[in-house]
Amino acid sequence: MRNIAAVLAWSIVLVLLCSCPALAAQTAPAQAPSSQDIQKLADAQRWTDIVALLAPLPSRSADLDFHYGSALAHLKRWSDAELELQAGRRLAPADPRFPIELAGIAFQQKNYPHAAHLLRQAVKLAPHDAYTNDFLATVYFLEGNLEAALKYWNRIGKPEIAEIRTDPEPRVAPALLDHAFAFSPAATLQLQDFLATNARVRGLGIFPQYHFDLRARDDGKFDMQFRASERNGFGESKWAGLFLFLRELPFQGVDPEFYNLHHQAINFVSMFRWDAQKRRIVAQFSGPFQHGAKYRYELFTDLRNENWVLRNSFTGPAPALASLNLRYQIVALDLASYASARVRWSAGAQVSHRDFRNVEPGAVLTPDILSAGYQLKQQAQLSAVVWRVPERRFTMNAEASSQAARLWSQHDETFEQLVGSLGWRWFPQAEGDDYEMQQSFRGGRTFGQVPFDELFMLGLERDNNLPMRAHIGTRDGRKGSAPLGRNYFLASWEADKNLYGNGLITVKLGPFLDVGKITDPSTALGSQKWLWDTGAQVKFRAFGSVVAFSYGKDLRSGNNAFYVNLLQ
């Protein structure tokens, strides 16, 4: 029995000893396949086999993480794929394959903004990679951001335009419209040419709304389609013409306008106002210079007969400081350039005459400021795009202008006015104009003695372009209740949100903030202190014209201002 027990014991020991190598083999980690083997499976699109080989591995290199995540993505296991690719990206942050593959996942899920964000990171890592630039341009194209798409397509010699189409066919002369297009068929559409085309088409003044549609073809090329509403005669339709003619009627005025005379983008725009306190007749005749779209001439005349009463406020106790009747006539000629997308200039001259009647000067209106007679003025203006970020839909513009004049009155007088501005505009969303934000900084300075009508004014008034939206420039219909002076600074910020739009009518709502100050050597003029206005406005756009309804609050005085104004 003892021998039998000993034999059994030794048998058990031998079995255990023989089974140890097998147990060790079962618990040993799986051997990682080589990148070459995985690449062969990827070339054969054997995604399931790749997942089966790489899933059991307790740890993987950055390269194997990429292949594993890519295989999961091809199997549409989006969450798992993203986790694996992010893990590999942490191991190799300078490898552009990871943001590209992650962008592909976002693209498949139609999350275009996130795909664009990842592809911008990939472009920074590989700026000359054709696939990445093409992919990023395609994402922007699908978002409707053609400027950003062209920026990245141009890096790889795309897109090539096969044909340019118009729908509907414009009535403007085809040769003139062709001159407005800086690009042509059978050539690559460059971003600068596209922007120059936008500037020239806008400069024609006959297309209140237009759009360029780039359409892909099966051969890899693109067709460009120009879609626009066009003003002809009194407007683009009888209802549009009637609206444009009567839009000033609530303000005792009408706007006779005629567009595209002889199909040459020759336009006549005028305004006749019979308000007893501020009568005015304006007429503007403009057209293409030498039958081209790069330059436009403008003939302008302005006749005014206005009653002014100068006060410190448009509401509440504010006794009259001075009053007068101003009669003013002007004839001007200007030439403007639309040749470049980045820089625009204009230059011209004007002859004017003014006289003052029924003057009660008080302590404000000195003899120098009431200088009457003829005046000759030379003016020049330069505007430029100083910063454009198509990916962010952000544009910054700068502008400078100079006016040098000589006035023949009792004593010959000369003066110079310099005006500058810097402003930006931003659409926060990747596509559309549902939200819009803009801000501007403007300043002006006068050298020499100017007549009364050349003073700057900060306030809301239909003939003024320096709005402080809680300071109304008229009281009882007479101008003079907003601050006047020779020098000013004005900063304006506003944001807009679309409330309604149907293609013909758009309604926007948003807040604003105006900060300004106006100064003058005469202590009786100017704002004396900084002005702070805030509030909200509703913009109503129809037939290319914008009417703004605003409520502003003067944060210094507490005054409230409700106003209706035509912005364009």
Of 229, 259, 281, which residue is a domain's last? 229
Q: Which pair of tokens denotes residue 224? A: 């460009």
pLDDT of res. 230:
92
Q: Are 357 and 327 in contact (CB under 8 A)?
A: yes
172 and 268 inside one domain: no
Per the domain annotation, does 83 fall within a domain? no
**Torsion sign over Cα 176, 504, 112, 387:** positive
Q: How far apart are the C-alpha atoms of 235 and 255, rounded to whole Å?
A: 12
Strand-pair partners of 485:
456
Q: Residue 459's domain is classified under what CATH number?
A: 2.40.160.50
374 and 425 inside one domain: yes
Per the domain annotation, does 74 fall within a domain? no
Per the domain annotation, does 87 fall within a domain? no
Q: How far apart are the C-alpha atoms of 485 and 522, rounded to whole Å?
A: 8
- In order of 207, 272, 383, 434, 458, the CA distances from 278 in angstroms are 31, 11, 32, 38, 18
Of 205, 229, 253, which residue is a domain's last? 229
Q: How far apart are the C-alpha atoms of 33 and 25, rounded to whole Å?
A: 18
Q: How far apart are the C-alpha atoms of 496 and 518, rounded to whole Å?
A: 27
Q: Residue 175's domain is classified under what CATH number?
A: 3.10.20.310
Per the domain annotation, does 339 fall within a domain? yes
What's the whole-model pTM score?
A: 0.87
Per the domain annotation, does 167 fall within a domain? yes
221 and 248 inside one domain: no
152 sits in which H/E element: helix 146-153
Residues of the chain with pLDDT under 70: 1-31, 410
Q: Which pair of tokens denotes residue 107? A: 């693209």
421 and 515 inside one domain: yes
296 and 169 inside one domain: no
Per the domain annotation, does 542 fall within a domain? yes
39 sits in which H/E element: helix 35-43
Residue (of 465, 564, 561, 478) closest to 516 by Cα position: 465
Of 229, 256, 273, which residue is a domain's last? 229
Residue range(s) defining the domain that contains residue 211: 160-229
Per the domain annotation, does 120 fall within a domain? no
361 and 425 inside one domain: yes
224 and 273 inside one domain: no
444 and 515 inside one domain: yes
**Torsion sign over Cα 169, 172, 178, 180:** negative
Q: Are 377 and 352 in contact (CB under 8 A)?
A: yes
20-44 confidence digits (pLDDT tens): 444 333 444 456 787 788 888 888 8
190 and 262 inside one domain: no
pLDDT of res. 30:
54
Per the domain annotation, does 488 fall within a domain? yes
Give the number of domains in the chain. Answer: 2
123-168 confidence digits (pLDDT tens): 999 999 999 999 999 999 999 999 999 999 999 999 999 999 998 8
405 and 305 inside one domain: yes
- Beta-carbon contacts of 441 under 8 Å, excluding residues fewer than 6 positions away, are 421, 422, 423, 489, 490, 491
Q: Which pair of tokens denotes residue 549? A: 């309804």
Core vs surface per residue 65-88: b (16+ CB within 10 A) or e: bbbbbbbbbbeebeebbbebbebb
Query: At which residue do the structure tokens 């007679």 appear?
Result: 373
209 and 284 inside one domain: no
347 and 225 inside one domain: no
